[in-house]
Amino acid sequence: MLFLRKGALYLGGMIILTLGQRLFVEAGLGADALDALCVGLSESAGLTPGTWVAATAFLMMCTAAVLSGRKPLAGGLVSSFIFGVFFDLWARFFQHFYEPDSMGIRILMYGAGILLGPLGTAIYFKSGFAKSALDDFIFAIKDRLHLSIRVTKTSVEIGLCTLAFLFGGPIGIATILTAVLYGPLLQGFMNRLDNMCTICVRSGLHGFVKKI
């Protein structure tokens, strides 16, 4: 039962996260920092963007292991794979049922994405299951330097934006906004979930909280 509860929390978070990330893409206001970097690397150094996504994921996974003093967590690649599956499923949904036809709709879609992305991330973190290579990398830096998730996430996103710009990646206004806003929003949602768990404990639901 414990595994099923954690699994439901993990999958629910992944579904919300990938919907938010897909809304970024469908809004068409700029790629996220990591995607922009991989496109820039592809155009300047060859290979496909997908190859660079895999290469950067492997590099981040190994770097996180070094920073944390442990072996690389293969589960990060599994999470990245699951993310890709749901991300593609949302792509098919939008292709068949809806395409934004005005700037106002695109802005609304981006606004929904910038809220759903961090919310889904916070929920899937709460499950305790393996993090994606990027998130594992971020948490390794956070723990090593004793920083908040807000500061770490924002710093990494800005760093990726800078590299994407240097390699000629597709930087848009949404790329910059996401880099600045994602970290604080993620921290806020994580704090809210922690507060909800605290309230549940004080209300006598500590058994349920421990199970999730």
- pTM for the full model? 0.81
80 with 132: CB under 8 angstroms?
yes
CB 36 within 8 A of CB 161: yes
| pLDDT score at 208 | 47
Stretch 118-141: mean pLDDT: 90
| Residue 161: pLDDT over 60 | yes
Burial label for 109, CB within 10 Å (0-12, 13-18, 19+), is buried
Query: What sign has the CA pseudo-torsion 52, 53, 54, 59?
Result: positive
Domain total for the chain?
1
Closest CA to 30 of 182, 157, 177: 177
Average pLDDT rounded to a whole number, residues 170-191:
91
- pLDDT tens track for 67-83: 999 888 777 778 878 88
Please tell me which residue, 165 or 51, carries the higher pLDDT value: 165
Question: Model confidence at 198, in pLDDT bands (50, 70, 90)?
Answer: low
Q: Reply yes or no on whether the pLDDT at 36 is more than 50.
A: yes
Domain span at 127: 2-211
**pLDDT of 15 higher than 50:** yes
Statement: residue 211 has pLDDT above 60: no
Structure tokens at 158: 């800005």
Percentage, residues of the chain above pLDDT 90: 41
For the cut 70, the answer to whether the pLDDT of residue 46 exceeds it is: yes
Give the span between the Cα atoms of 152 and 160, in whole angstroms. Answer: 12
pLDDT at 56 over 70: yes
